[in-house]
Structure 1
Amino acid sequence: MLKSSLLLAALLLPVFSAANADDYKAGDLLVSDPWSQELPPNAPTVAAYFVIHNQGDSADRLVSVDTPVAAEAQLHEHVMQGDLMKMQKVDTVAIPAKGDLTFAPMAYHVMLLDLKDRSKLRDGQHFPLTLNFEKAGPVQVEVSVQKAPPMATHEHMHAQ
């Protein structure tokens, strides 16, 4: 009896571990660790971040994003122009085959504009964000709102 219980527990451990992870799958893409920093008082915008892992043999593109907490969600990147770091809107973001792409502060990110539901943007809250990929299609993730950025301790939290 004890042996079969241990075997069952060992078989179910990966299922429970996967269910607890902040990973979302769409085709060959895996979206990990979606988060946003807590909205400061009176801030007109907020950004969302995550990591996209492309496990497939062909590239894909993130073509748009949607969320019910904002009237508009845009893809943005930070670029150096002369001596200044500038944020700019981009139409799509390429996800390389067999590669990772990190959305992070001072890099690619999702900018949420004209915020509708500020109560979902406080520490400890979550909100849905739909990522629309050219090939993999849509995937809805739950963005975790935090007072401070998470520690980059996962092995996949590296720049592209």
Structure 2
Amino acid sequence: MSLKSTLLGGFAATLFALPAFADITIEDAYARSSGPSAKTGAAFFVIKNTGHDQDRLIGASSDVAKLVELHTHIHGDDGVMKMRRDEDGFEVPAMGMHALQRGGDHVMFMGLNGPMVQGESFDVTLTFEHAGDITVTVPVDLDRTPEEGTMKMGAEKGAVDHSKMDH
């Protein structure tokens, strides 16, 4: 076998061994809580998948809180939006995206270990079904208003009462 064939074979093996997370990117991440004494907070971002196979965000972890979960909102029988844990995770279609936004899907931090401070940031490890773990640095932006077209939830600036969540 020639040196050229050996190098070409090694390159091909390396190329196919690249992790799937090269197809997943996280954009426009930010986190917020409703105030300095809040016990909960949330992170929002856009997951982009440039790959040819769908993936799914199935978990998240961070040192910022005692419990980190994937949450969504559903319409209750009484017509009121309710927040609940989404145990199935969030599908990210092939060659597509999934937005985590206020009033919709998000990463929930419960039992904050300290206040979320404007301008600071923290790390969140996102776990994908195929791409595995991806760690993202999330800036805290307490002044950010809900994006155009999202639902306003709860009190001023999107605060939500998490004490009545379905778990």
Of residues 97, 100, 110 in structure 2, which corresponds to 1:100?
Answer: 97
Return the TM-score normalized by structure 2: 0.70
Partner of 1:111: 108
Of residues 119, 125, 128 in structure 1, which corresponds to 2:120?
Answer: 125
Is the CA contact (8 Å cut-off) linking 2:102 and 2:146 kept in structure 1? no
Q: Which runs of 4+ in 1 moved over 3 A?
A: 150-153
Of residues 42, 46, 49 in structure 2, which corresponds to 1:51?
Answer: 46
Is the CA contact (8 Å cut-off) linking 1:50 and 1:104 kept in structure 2? yes
Pick the structure with more strand per residue. 1
Q: Which amino acid aligns with 1:31?
A: I
Q: Shift of residue 42 of structure 1?
A: 2.0
Of residues 76, 84, 92 in structure 1, which corresponds to 2:80?
Answer: 84
For 1:128 and 1:39, locate their aligned partners in 2 and report how far apart those are by CA, in whole Å. 20
Q: Which amino acid aligns with 1:89?
A: R
Change in CA separation of 1:151 and 1:40 when aligned onto 2, cut-off 3 Å: closer
The count of aligned residue pairs is 129
Q: Which amino acid aligns with 1:107?
A: G
Q: Which amino acid aligns with 1:88?
A: R
The answer on 1:149 being equivalent to 2:144 is yes
Mark the structure with the bigger radius of gyration: 2
Task: Give the superposed CA RMSD.
Answer: 2.2
Return the TM-score normalized by structure 1: 0.73
